[in-house]
Structure 1
Amino acid sequence: MTRIEAVKQKAILEVAESLGYSFRCLSGQVYEHPEHDSFRIFADTNTFKWFSRDIQGDVIDFVQLVAGVPFKEALSYLETGDFEQAKVVEGTYQPFSYYLGEEPFDQARTYLKQIRGLSDETINAFGRQGLLAQAHYQTKAFQESVLVFKSYNHQGQLEGASLQGLVKNNERHDRGYLKKIMKGSHGYIGMSFDIGKPKRLIFCESVIDMMSYYQLHQRQLSDVRLVSMEGLKLSVIAYQTLRLAAEEQGKLYFLDTVKPSRLTHYLQTIQETTTFFQTHSGLLTLAVDNDEAGRDFCQKLSEKGLPIEIDLPPLQELETKADWNDIVKGHCNHSLKDMIQSAKLQVLRSNPPPRKNTVLEL
């Protein structure tokens, strides 16, 4: 195998993550850029295509496009994780713009309770940290109310938001409900929820799963930061690790100097040249989905030597996939069955069936 052939075997999704770009899964092996719906990665062929610009290619072409570097430097990055002559050319920083008009939270609360099985206590806890809202979302084709999950950076600035539709519409949305990351969101930050003074990090795949994990484990959680990656993103793990280290040292300003494309590089540097992970045992926990993608992600990080603890939701009976919200909804269903059974027993005790006359035969 030639040098170029070997480089082309690099998984394009992992390369995208290392450069600070996050693509969300559309279906199967197709992934979409959160800001450009015509920019897609095809994991099965390890290629990409930007339909609106008629640009396509392999993993080398991808690095050249998003990093703005020539072939030689793209090849160097794929082989060594760094650029020989030029660093990543960052686009001009654009602050996130939140333009949605917010509404009363009633419909969003109903969705979280009835559809997702979350309690008022859990919803209120996340609401108090300013992470939830209900808003009016409108496009040229339709309008509807949405649940908003807000993401803040280390300075407390709103840096992104993801939207969850509240009414199912199979004709309008591929997955039944609207699911969208707002344009301009900085996907490497993640949405975080603090309990006490954070000394460790727990990563989930989605905000709903993070809320579910909290509801199931809140009695055991103290001094921890829960983080939603909105997928499986090493860049979020890197950012939140650097953030925690900077908070401990009182040097949050350091994060203002770190370019998103260099986050994973800094994480690797910490891992290889400091004792930070040795002195912070149990720092990173992955509480991702118990499916092939989640387990593979955990394995890949372990193979990189990253000290992680793994906390996956248990599989139910013959299921091959489980997330934390599945467990919450399962508990709710069991509780409902128990309530119905208890009510039936109460009725029987209050109104016992008439006794049948028994004739004793000699």
Structure 2
Amino acid sequence: METLKDLKQKSLIAIAESLGIPFKRISSDIYEHPEHDSFKVFMRTNTFKWFSRDQGGDAIDFVQTLTGVGFKEAVSYLKTGNFQLHKEELVKKEPFRYYVTEDGQEDFHLARRYLKEERGISDSTINFFGRQGIMAQALYRHEPVLVFKAFNHRHVLVGASLQGLKRHIDEKRPYLKRTMKHSEGHVGVSVDIGKPNRLVFTESVIDAMSYFELHQSSLKNTRLVAMDGLKRSCIAYQILRLIAGEKKNLPFLDSLNPSKLLTYLTTLIETTTYFKESPDVITLAVDHDKAGLDFIGKCSDLSLPFQLDLPHLLEEKGKSDWNDILKSQKNPSLESLINQARIQIGTKEKTTGPFTLEV
């Protein structure tokens, strides 16, 4: 009779195939969901991680995530199926490689137009984020994209996400969205306002830009972090980075094991007085929807002190993110308001270049 341990050893890829979901191989060790590029299966450990939802685990968790059934139903499915056992493969982790081709330094017009017309973000906000070096316009498989870059504590580029700038016919996903292969997902995309002594976490860079525009006057000495999803590991890394920066001990971060970031965070909570002395250091500004609320619950489960700053719900949608709020404040005529803003700042800002301010 198969035990739970036996069931957890069954190959995740074989399980996915039995459910009719053709995960695609993207490296010698990693498979990717055909519709969700942040949903990965790791052959070496026979585990999965859905990074944008902060979900992961073993074969039983995998069935529950893919089908929506409960624990008992997932166990029953694994017992009745005929899956091959997973064989561990020792594969070296591949480093991140920046494989897109950037446009010329002065060519950011498609990205700027997308951010302004589709997202309602002002030139001044675009310029501020652009000067931080985290954005570029590039080509990905001959398609123009906006690149959001993730730099670690050594200011080394360790990951990036792509936002398509060409509208597709597909109504569900009119624009390409993709995380570049082998990105270090725990780092996040960050921008500093002053000398940071607090952290504000959003789900995406677009939300971070929107949050900045809506709260600019109150953001002093703050690091805005876009997690590219919902990731407690990103919160853990950025907290440790903030502390290491304050103590001028960045080499401490060089030896950290990314897979143990939550363990480090738990140790920090349980064995130090850091959060008692700095109870307001973390603000969660995630989306106001089920996934965001579930993530807040997971952070609470860690006994992690944090402040909440959620966008108010939009009645017509039943959920919201910070870009929704920014756009709703610029309705009913977003284009008219943008044109007014151009007139008001026209003598002070230059928008023909990528991120320059002074005329």
TM-score in same-fold range (> 0.5): yes
Matching residue within 322, 331, 334 for 1:333:
331
Aligned to 1:158: 157
Aligned to 1:101: 101
Moved over 3 A (4+): 23-27, 39-45, 91-95, 334-339
Instruction: Call closer, same or farther: CA 1:65–1:240 in 2, change over 3 Å.
Output: farther
Aligned to 1:149: 148
Matching residue within 265, 275, 279 for 1:267:
265
Aligned to 1:33: 40
**Does residue 1:112 correspond to 2:115, yes or no?**
yes
Aligned to 1:84: none
Kindly indicate whether the alpha-carbon contact (under 8 Å) linking 1:35 and 1:182 is maintained by their aligned counterparts in 2. no
Map 1:148-187 to 2 at 5 A: 148-171=147-170, 175-187=173-185
Aligned to 2:322: 324
Q: For 2:156, give the aligned amino acid.
A: Q
Q: For 2:279, give the aligned amino acid.
A: S
**Does residue 1:46 correspond to 2:61, yes or no?**
yes
Q: CA-to-partner distance for each residue in 1:275-334, whole Å, 9 max, x for gaps?
A: 011111201111000001101111221132110111110012343110000011111214
Identity across the alignment (%): 48
Map 1:241-320 to 2 at 5 A: 241-320=239-318
Aligned to 1:133: 136
Instruction: Call closer, same or farther: CA 1:224–1:322 in 2, change over 3 Å.
Output: same
Q: For 2:138, give the aligned amino acid.
A: A
The SS at the match of 1:145 is strand
Two-structure CA RMSD over aligned residues (Å): 3.7
Q: Could you tell me how far apart the structure 2 residues matched to 1:40 and 1:260 are?
A: 16
Aligned to 1:82: none
Aligned to 2:199: 201
**Structure 1 length-normalised TM:** 0.70
Consecutive unaligned residues of structure 2, counting only runs of 5 or more, are 13-29, 65-73, 79-84, 341-359
The SS at the match of 2:154 is coil
Kindly indicate whether the alpha-carbon contact (under 8 Å) linking 1:235 and 1:264 is maintained by their aligned counterparts in 2. yes
Greater relative contact order (CA < 8 Å, ≥ 6 in sequence): 2
Aligned to 2:349: none
Q: For 1:167, give the aligned amino acid.
A: K
Kindly indicate whether the alpha-carbon contact (under 8 Å) linking 2:136 and 2:147 is maintained by their aligned counterparts in 1. yes
Kindly indicate whether the alpha-carbon contact (under 8 Å) linking 1:170 and 1:177 is maintained by their aligned counterparts in 2. no
Kindly indicate whether the alpha-carbon contact (under 8 Å) linking 2:207 and 2:323 is maintained by their aligned counterparts in 1. yes
Kindly indicate whether the alpha-carbon contact (under 8 Å) linking 2:38 and 2:179 is maintained by their aligned counterparts in 1. no
Q: Deviation of residue 32 (structure 1)?
A: 1.7
Q: Could you tell me how far apart the structure 2 residues matched to 1:338 and 1:188 are?
A: 39
Q: Could you tell me how far apart the structure 2 residues matched to 1:250 and 1:292 are?
A: 39
Q: Could you tell me how far apart the structure 1 residues matched to 2:285 and 2:235 are?
A: 12
Q: Could you tell me how far apart the structure 2 residues matched to 1:46 and 1:212 are?
A: 35
Kindly indicate whether the alpha-carbon contact (under 8 Å) linking 1:25 and 1:31 is maintained by their aligned counterparts in 2. no
Q: Deviation of residue 95 (structure 1)?
A: 3.4
**Structure 2 length-normalised TM:** 0.71
How many residues were matched structurally? 286
Q: Could you tell me how far apart the structure 2 residues matched to 1:157 and 1:164 are?
A: 21
Consecutive unaligned residues of structure 1, counting only runs of 5 or more, are 13-20, 50-56, 70-88, 343-362
